[in-house]
């Protein structure tokens, strides 16, 4: 039995499985979970207070994805209602770690995702410290649930 630490997650994002999300076996295609996590992550950032517009991830607060991981537990099927839990679990010097759980309506986990993003300088695309305004925003939203790790 897999235990989901749902109490650690403030953000919940509902998704209904659409026809184009499933494969020939009528289960959500494995790649689709990364797209679910991406949708939930953008809504999480919006809820956290980050301005979301055409320039959000291009010319200010630019991040590169450096790690995507997904564990699959139970298939989801067409028209099923899912909920994606999202949180930032850690902030290091230049990186931020996201954690997601995709849950079925009865709370059974369908998948778990872990993702690491590196903040980069908008002009050089080189790693750069996560700005203080983002650190403060994350702390306000997540409180003590997020680990700030300085190296």
Q: HSE of 46 in the Cβ direction (CA atoms, 13 Å)? A: 10
Q: What is the pLDDT of residue 122?
A: 86
Q: What is the pLDDT of residue 52?
A: 80
Q: What is the pLDDT of residue 58?
A: 61
What is the mean pLDDT for each group of 10 consecutive residues in the chain (151 residues)? 91 97 96 97 93 69 94 97 98 98 97 97 93 95 92 75
Q: What is the pLDDT of residue 67?
A: 98
Q: What is the pLDDT of residue 1?
A: 78
Q: Which domains does the chain have, with CATH numbers?
A: 6-148 (3.10.129.10)
Q: HSE of 30 in the Cβ direction (CA atoms, 13 Å)? A: 6
Active site residues: 23
**pTM of this prediction?**
0.93
């Amino acid at each position: 039995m897999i235990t989901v630490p749902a109490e650690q997650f403030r953000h919940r994002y509902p998704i209904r499985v659409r026809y184009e999300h499933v494969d020939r076996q009528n289960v959500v295609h494995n790649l689709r979970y990364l797209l679910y996590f991406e949708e939930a992550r953008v809504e999480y950032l919006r809820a956290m207070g980050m301005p979301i517009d055409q320039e959000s991830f291009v010319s200010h607060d630019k991040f590169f994805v450096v790690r995507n991981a997904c564990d699959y537990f139970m298939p989801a099927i067409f028209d099923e209602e899912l909920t994606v839990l999202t949180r930032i679990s850690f902030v290091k010097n230049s990186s931020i770690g996201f954690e997601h759980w995709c849950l079925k309506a009865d709370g059974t986990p369908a998948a778990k995702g872990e993702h690491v993003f590196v903040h980069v300088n908008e002009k050089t695309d080189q790693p750069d410290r996560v700005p203080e305004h983002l650190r403060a925003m994350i702390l306000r939203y997540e409180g003590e649930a997020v680990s700030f790790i300085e190296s």
